[in-house]
Structure 1
Amino acid sequence: MLFAHLGSEPRIHPDAVVAPTAVISGDVTIGPGCQVLHGAVLTAEGSPIVLGAHTIVMENALVRASSTHAVHVGAHTLIGPMASIAGADIGDDVFLATGTRIFNGAEIGDRSEVRINAVVHVRTVLPADSVVPISWVAVGDPLLILPPERHEEIWAAQRELDFPGYVFGLDRETPDLMVQLTERYGRSLSRHADDRRLG
């Protein structure tokens, strides 16, 4: 299903294949030879999404650009089932396995692998040819790649990256953080009320 959002319509190369149950919304460019499978969602919420040639977005993956963070995915990259990318730059020949999470401002270098259920946190830079093991967390720049049981070290690096400030423009110490966050984010998402289904 294709939708116009915020005055922009998806652009899909004639050689690309988009499953009828995928959702493509807004300023999304899908390059030649791409495959977008059933249940995948590509939603450009104010910044563009660009998929390079021969990229595959598998079932139920989510690719979301925000008003401040575009998504660029290089050629010959595979985005696995139930993976999630929010406002990140992904290089060429990258493998993002099932259930991976890539957050705003992250940069994934060419030929990198982010394995099953691994996380690349906000503003984290993975150099080319990096590997994030199954369920591990990549955080920061300079980069740390840590197993989930080393939560205190992950949190120490993550705290400095300031997820609520960077993504939502809100200070973590705000007494009613979630009230402000959900109301602000909800207003932004409500712009989908004016979307127009295409075709």
Structure 2
Amino acid sequence: MEKVRVYVADRPAEVRQLLERSTIWPLATETISISSNEDAPTTATLVDHLPGHPLPSLPENGWDLLDRAAEMEKLWLDQLHADSMGDLLCIGSSCRIHPEAKLIPPYFIGDDVLIGPDCEIGPYAVISQGALLAGANQITRSHVSPHSYLGPVTALEDCLLVGSTLFNRRNRARIDRIEAHIASDLSGTHPVVPLKDRLLALKLYLTSRSSQGSSPETFHTFDGLDLRGNPGHGLQVRRSWLPLVWKGKMQLFGVLPRSREQFESLSPDWQNIISHATVGVFSYADCQGCHSPDEPDEALHAVYQAALPPATLRSAIIDFTRNLKPADLSPS
């Protein structure tokens, strides 16, 4: 076998990114976005469980889905440590593990992980790539996501930690924006902005008319970005965002930023898709005449954009920005 085609209806962009970073060499993979599982070819195999360990019950809600993922991870860890090479495969490269830390199998530690003194990892603990455990942490039946920081003297049991968000499966509790000294995201919030996008943003800023009068209001997005001007006001606030592009703090092209209220008005599936999408000054929705997250069709275009590789719609959005008139970005 040389190539596998993966048909994905649920967050295809994330699956594509994971497969691109995988090390299944020399096996090539192709990710194809579909609207539902029924659209996959009849010859395709549904992969919703580990080989040899089917899980017949389907999740009825988000918590059931987390439980199902944890059970699959438990089976995988048992299988990993049952292998004669398990001890060599369960710790990634470039890890720094304090000699006073205690590792209790089964467990898995990804690449570039830092584990401080007096930590107890396991059983059934997964510490993903780039995570940092400060010290005296106890991780049992829990998963720490990539580039997550966990402060000292903190215990996780039946939990999922994603940056500064904690899911406690036992108590069915979710805590957002935990204090940074307890848990935080180490991945960074600003991906590299291409130089050509910075120059285009500077050109748009200089050719558009500056606003007169008082400064726009400050707008706080659901994912922690502070902007001048409310995205609900359409194109008229975009000029004030352009300086963030040439400073490298915001992408020129991406889905439109939205408030916590606008985000929570979406379905859980769409929230999952948009929460992982790159935010930008101009979006594919702009090309379709939807310039505000309050417009009913904007979220549909945002989900469509988020499900595709970033380069797919780039030319269409560039054409839109080139056709803008100076007055389009100026408050009336």
Specify which structure has the bigger relative contact order, considering alpha-carbon pairs within 8 angstroms and separated by 6 or more residues: 1
Q: What is the TM-score of this pair, normalised by structure 1?
A: 0.49
Q: What is the TM-score of this pair, normalised by structure 2?
A: 0.31
Larger radius of gyration: 2
Structure with more of its chain in helix, by fraction: 2
